[in-house]
Structure 1
């Protein structure tokens, strides 16, 4: 008897080929690999980006020959804290642009998240040359390192490019996808043509309704910006309604229920209607939900209410969609979902995206063959 998989082998030996050959459609192995990339982008060493840890995790998942260059810029007074990793693999044929998300102890990151005074971003291809409004903090943090990021990607000349990130990193990844898609600079043509997909995890909304509608009209941004929402994660429902009308674009996949028995959870992500904005009351109650889940009786009540609230929300979504189609005013009732900040943690996204036979981002199940 011998082990079919040893500890020194990678999780997805064919990951490089899968990334190269994908046409941008959602792939479970890619979703898991990029979730690991987005999660370990938070690693730090001596106050700076820890590229060694990120390289090790990506090597374990299947990109053994990867190189990684961090590009960082922080300007606290401007609420800018931008960290991007440009990863190259498969002899430079595959590239991943990964943005770091909100760091728990970093005040600048939190100020970037709540900086909701919309900045203007122009779509050069819009026939009427209108400006659409986007989240100021997300736009500035993406734009701050954009020139260096594009120079690095252009020098790499990849055949396949993926952009990813969690939380604030997901917002910057989505913004980068739009900026690259609309980029008319001939020097960036190869990079633009190489873009396969944008995978985000716990991503907040980045622009107003008109911005989202314009992005949704682009087939690539509609189908190849793939957003993942874990259960009742509050962040995809932000900024709250009081800051103005924001909306998502792209295709949303949501994880709601655990699979029965010992089945892999990765198959339980379902295509979902785009998350709507949370109200200020929903936002304010989120810390209390975090506390309630740690009190046995309160936690049990929250758990029992979740499926009921989700069904009510689903009905309200259908009514709202029908009313919009018929141009009938519809006063949306208050939310019936107990939004959660705990569901936002990157390790939850990684755990729920693990494919069959994968124990964690460190190893697979061991099987024996004769």
Structure 2
């Protein structure tokens, strides 16, 4: 009887599929023993993390997810190559595509990283926040372009944030739909041709995509050729075994967090993205300003408020903005505050600062007070001790008297708290 599990010959003896796969893999392992041993040591940890992220219950806060997404939000300020490398170090083997869109006349400078686990089960969209240099004139002008604009589903939102998400959203949506259907985002990039600067043959060197096609350039001769052939086989196996999307996460720091909230709002209002809604496991934001007015906040609290986890470190000033002088804005979702042990739920959300300029000046004062000690400028002499204690204004001696701090807004603080209590792990 003819065996139905045979491959076509094409000059190769017909063998059972199981035998042929086994023989091929055994030869590959024998040819590259060191590489396979290293991969085996790391694969278990990677699978565990992917499983953990894929199995998070929608609406449940997950400390592992917070740590991974804090990493993605901090390294969103870097290149595509760097964020993919750092996610790999965080034990999430992945591929990544970065979408950039700039238009100075619109005060638009958007950068979005789309991270996909190699098996396709988990996707992370990380929005970059405001950069200080060399984008001071664009990002920060967008931040102060507060005049509310109508959001098509409900209420009004920060004008600069609205402009920051809408032009880039059609591109993001292409990748979302493809990932949902089990397509590699690298193939999506080729299909939709998002950037002429990243042709398929240069994916391995262009910063706008990290798809893992590059072989080790230190290899030479026949070994390098064999390794390249093996890599092409592995890539084919990855494609054959790729799953459809099981879990989607949105994240961002500062402005990036606000864009992540708007992205979630778009997913919950666009009919063609309806199937993605149950896949959205969480929106984890760090130092996020308020996005919209009370109407917007209350409407989307009912849509995905149980999945929105806002993190606030110390006296970070940004979650208190925009100020009341710019109109009425309101937070929604679940709020988490920093402690020495990590993040803890805070039942009452922070409110708006009264005057934006005063809040920022207070934040700057808090930053300077943390960095410099006025007492340290005075000599250590007995006669001066009385001056230190009596005449140095308490406002300059005591950092904690400042209500806000710009130093607390730094993304490194959020990453360290997410990884507490392991000092230095944010760089591993």
Superposition TM-score, scaled by structure 2 size? 0.66
Q: Which runs of 5+ in 1 are unaligned?
A: 1-5, 44-49, 124-130, 259-264, 306-336, 364-370
- 1:295 aligned partner: 372
1:345 aligns with 2:422: no
* Partner Cα distance (2:397, 2:414) in 1: 23
Question: How many Å apart are 1:90 and its aligned residue?
Answer: 4.2
Equivalent of 1:233, from 311, 316, 331? 316
Shift of 1:282: 2.6
Separation in 1 of the partners of 2:75 and 2:42? 20
Take 1:28 and 1:137, find their aligned partners in 2: how far apart are those partners?
Answer: 31
**CA distance 1:343–1:200, change in 2 (3 Å):** same
**Alignment size in residue pairs:** 299
Contact 1:232/1:338 (CA < 8 Å) preserved in 2?
yes
Whose strand proportion is higher, 1 or 2?
1
Structure 1 counterpart of 2:152: 122
Any conservation in 2 of the 1:61–1:361 contact (CA below 8 Å)?
A: no
Measured after TM superposition, the shift of residue 293 of structure 1 is 2.5
Give yes or no for contact 1:10–1:61 (8 Å, CA) kept in 2. no
Residues 1:357 and 1:117: Cα distance change in structure 2 (over 3 Å): closer
Q: Deviations over 1:241-299 (max 9, x none)?
A: 100010011101011x43xxxxxx32x43334111101213333222222233332456
Residue in 2 aligned with 1:145? 168
1:38 to 73, 77, 81: 73
Counterpart selection for 1:63 from 92, 98, 101: 92
Which residue is equivalent to 1:203?
A: 288
SS in 2 for 1:41: helix
What RMSD in Å do the two structures reach over aligned CA positions?
2.1
Change (3 A) 1:358 1:292: closer
| TM-score of the pair, normalised by structure 1 | 0.76
Cα deviation 1:323-364 (Å, max 9, x = unaligned):
xxxxxxxxxxxxxx610111000001001110455741344x
Q: CA deviation at 1:9?
A: 5.2
Hey, what's the Cα distance between the residues in 2 that align with 1:98 and 1:235? 19
Contact 2:331–2:349 under 8 Å retained in 1: yes
Matches within 5 A, 1:52-131: 52-64=81-93, 66-105=94-133, 106=135, 107-123=137-153, 131=154
Q: Which has the higher helix share?
A: 2
State how far apart, in whole Å, the 1-side matches of 2:100 and 2:88 are: 23
Greater radius of gyration (CA): 2
Q: State the shift of 1:177 in Å.
A: 0.8
